[in-house]
């Protein structure tokens, strides 16, 4: 399964913090941040060097092995052959992510501190249009359509926590909602116009 895998990622992060002493019934340690990411992934899938495929007219990958042993009875032997064929092709994705968060560590008394925060994420992505490839990986001149609305997520993530000092110990509790970011490998297959994978065995 030979392939070429191309990746690119540009990211900008800005974070600010401010400590407010004796402000709105306590001390506040405020944190604010924004992030922007633009990335793309592109994979060129090729074929295994397995010789010509006389049925489908392009190379395939061949694998063979032998069974030896017993299975509910006498000793047996069985050869097994497996093959798949596929034309070379591209698949990939382009993604943009914008994120912002606000967090406040609010010390209400000498014993009680609250942590209050919220985060917003917006993820958008598309599958680009790629040119169809010939059996030798050369360009065919035929453009396959992409998908402009492959992904459009908006998510709010609230967080709430507390720390309360009891004697020599501290009682802590927290609640939060978390979302996994977009991983293009989870959704960018199969792309529009992908050639068929042909499996056979004997």
DSSP letters along 57-74, please? SS-EEEEEEEEEEESSSS
> What global pTM score does this model have?
0.73
What lies within 8 Å, CB to CB, of 109 at 6+ separation is 26
pLDDT band at 69 (very low <50, low <70, confident <90, very high): confident
**What pLDDT sits at residue 80?**
76
Distance, CA of 112 to CA of 108 (rounded, Å):
6
91: helix, strand or coil: strand
**What pLDDT sits at residue 86?**
78
**What pLDDT sits at residue 71?**
66
**What pLDDT sits at residue 56?**
47
**What pLDDT sits at residue 59?**
55
Exposure class string for 45-61: b at 16+ Cβ within 10 A, else e: bbbbeeeebeeeebbbb
Distance, CA of 104 to CA of 31 (rounded, Å):
6
Contact between residue 41 and residue 9 where contact means Cβ atoms under 8 Å apart: no
Q: Which two tokens stand for residue 53?
A: 């495929």
Average pLDDT of span 192-197: 82
Exposure class string for 99-114: b at 16+ Cβ within 10 A, else e: bebebbbbbeeeeebb
| pLDDT above 70 for 50 | no
**What pLDDT sits at residue 77?**
74
**What pLDDT sits at residue 45?**
86
| pLDDT above 80 for 43 | yes
9-13, 30-34, 60-64, 99-103, range with the lowest pLDDT: 60-64
What are the φ and ψ backbone dihedral angles of 144, each rounded to 5 degrees? -90, 140
7-11, 65-69, 104-108, 152-156, range with the lowest pLDDT: 65-69
């Amino acid at each position: 399964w030979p392939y070429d895998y191309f990746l690119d990622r540009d990211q900008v992060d800005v974070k600010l913090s401010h400590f407010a002493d004796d402000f709105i019934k306590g001390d506040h340690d405020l944190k604010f941040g924004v992030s922007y990411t633009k990335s793309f992934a592109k994979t060129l899938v090729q074929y295994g060097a397995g010789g010509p495929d006389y049925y489908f007219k392009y190379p395939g990958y061949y694998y063979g092995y032998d069974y030896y042993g017993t299975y509910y009875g006498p000793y047996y032997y069985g050869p097994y052959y497996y093959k798949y064929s596929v034309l070379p092709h591209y698949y990939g994705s382009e993604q943009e992510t914008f994120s912002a968060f606000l967090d406040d560590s609010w010390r209400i008394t000498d014993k009680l501190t609250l942590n209050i925060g919220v985060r917003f994420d917006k993820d958008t992505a598309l599958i680009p249009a790629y040119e169809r490839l010939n059996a030798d990986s050369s360009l065919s001149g035929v453009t396959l359509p992409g998908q402009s609305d492959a992904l459009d997520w908006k998510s709010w993530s609230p967080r709430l926590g507390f720390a309360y000092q009891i004697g020599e110990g501290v009682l802590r509790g927290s609640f939060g909602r978390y979302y996994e970011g977009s991983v293009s490998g989870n959704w960018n297959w199969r792309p529009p116009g992908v050639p068929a994978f042909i499996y056979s065995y004997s």
